[in-house]
Structure 1
Amino acid sequence: MTGRFPIEDVSPVVSCGRYPAKAVVDEPVPVSARAYREGHDALGCNVVWAGPDGASRPFTRMRPGEPGQDRWHATIAPDAVGSWTFSVEAFQDPYLTWQNAVTKKIAAGQGPEDLANDLAEGARVLAAARGLVPAADRPRVADALTALVDTDLPLAQRVGPALALADLLWEHPVRELVTAGDTYSIWVDRKRALYSAWYEFFPRSEGAVGGRSGTFATATERLPGVAAMGFDVLYLPPIHPIGRVNRKGPNNALTAGPTDVGSPWAIGAAEGGHDTIHPDLGTPADFRAFIQAAAAQGLEVAMDLALQCAPDHPWVTEHPEWFTTRADGSIAYAENPPKKYQDIYPVNFDNDPEGIRAEVLRVVLHWV
């Protein structure tokens, strides 16, 4: 912050500005701050905000909140997805100062001679305001200025037109001693980020017959029915190869039968890991067609990013350091005592955080 007036406790701000606040396109975003000054002169505040294109949006004046709290409020409505910025400015408002003083002095019975300096100050402010208001309103300001300096007019007629400019000069104020606060960011998402109805959808279960797995192609036939129920998003459990080592049977049984498919969350086998589609479900081309068919029904597809592995996941062989090794030298499987999940190895993110992050990023971008 640089300038004359303190600006504190700005909102919305996340973790002192280290992270952006969140908003949604066309949803109102309340902005507030605490700003104050000494003395009786009027203080004003406004929000300066800019869109992802860097272009500033219209000046937004802030209004004072509860008396004695020194808190100011405004609302902005970002209209595009992306990173927005905003800051709060505080300034001296000479018109409000003049309006307040003149109104009180006239009410107290003071005449033109007593108000000579006030009238001159008002003329100075209106002369500055004339270049700040929209072109269509400039004649009003010019007429008010002419009246204010006309000593032949009664006092009420001299000050009346100037006092009538209150609303106009609220929206287009004369600003002095402008103080610029810190700049903060707001990430604005599309409207579906605000709310949506998710449907958990197992492609393997759609069209499965006689022990034969459903596929992306057979699952596509169910999409109109899901959309008709009012859902927005299809949530897919992991669609990757399922491990064969320590594969579980029904109800977490330790032994799987020859037709048991195992848990989709026991990810990885000889066919591949998190960047591979289970061959029973189809090909990448089939998956793209499924996504396109969902989109045609107004549905988006959300994939489960489950960062865990079956014992035969390629990561286990290629990067054993990404897992926890127990005292006997074996890799620790998942446990939620007293439950045991011998078919799943949790990733130990402390062992190689940079390497794991790079691989997870690669997987995410692969699906993107």
Structure 2
Amino acid sequence: MRDILVAAGVALILSMLGTPLAIRLFSRRGYGQNIREEGPSGHHEKRGTPTMGGTVFVIAALIGFACSHLATFTPPTASAMLVLFLMTGLATVGFLDDFIKIYKQRSLGLRSGAKALGQLVVGAVFAVLVVRFPNAYSITPAETRVSFLRDFGPSIGIVVFTIWVLIMIVGFSNAVNLTDGLDGLASGATGVVLAAYVLIGNWQLRNSCLNQLGPNCYWVRDPLDLAVVAAAVLGALVGFLWWNAPPAKIFMGDTGSLALGGVLAGLAITTRTQILLFILAGLCCIITASVIIQVGFFKMTGKRVFRMAPLQHHFELAGWAETTIVVRFWLIAVLCAAAGLGLFYVEWMPKA
């Protein structure tokens, strides 16, 4: 527990104090957000707000994680380092995207192909390394099996597993990116999911197959350190949200949204709760589905289902205040995370 508190506390302080410094630095250098012309008209007043704020909470999370291990004199584990690698790698892809937007003064950064390639390369390295460091205590490496509340079904093989991991990484990094459309929306929504993973890691630690045998234990390699990762990113995100909440003084940019999506996917894969993430991060999935529905229906019929996609912009055009949308969507995120935790808790409870 001390590991978790140190990681979250250090990351929170660094992010809360570091974000205003980044706001001043980015403002002096002109690293402001460009706004799409086709977006809601109310967003044009946000033009010039500093972006790339994700760099602050990514760095704060990394330092918080390192401090937790220095405080407890323990080495970092393979699982935690893989998730942090995924976060940092996708943050780098997002940073390049953000920097090109700023440098060329346009709302589009990396071309879609280049951006997808960057996500795939980082994801592929993560997938290969996850298989390279299988659970040392499981007869059948669960890294090659699909998981919900725990592993189920037969092994799907390394190739299919790698494809599944890539789908999750690209899907959730883009899902958080789509959710990041209003001040504080993505920060609050992903923070709730990270809090859930702190609890999941603790539950899995107490019921680890390292400490007991039987049908109610979990085959998870490093549950405590994964909880520390979730706590470090959560602490950093809370500190950032202090400045990102409406009206935002800084945006996370693709640097932050891709990194957060990577953390969620990485935690789901390493804690063996892959499909459960679709419930825990239900808000991000709903918002992504709204884009898929809008694009697909428009191509088939030439008509739109929503006034604008992603879904939060539909409600903006319907006349909802931005703060109202953000708070209500946060409530949906809390309900989704609670539903996921409820399912997990029922599975975790000792069976007679």
Structure with higher RCO (Cα < 8 A, 6+ apart): 2
Provide TM-score, normalisation by structure 1.
Answer: 0.23
Larger radius of gyration: 1
- Comparing both structures, which one devotes a greater share of its residues to strand? 1
Provide TM-score, normalisation by structure 2.
Answer: 0.24
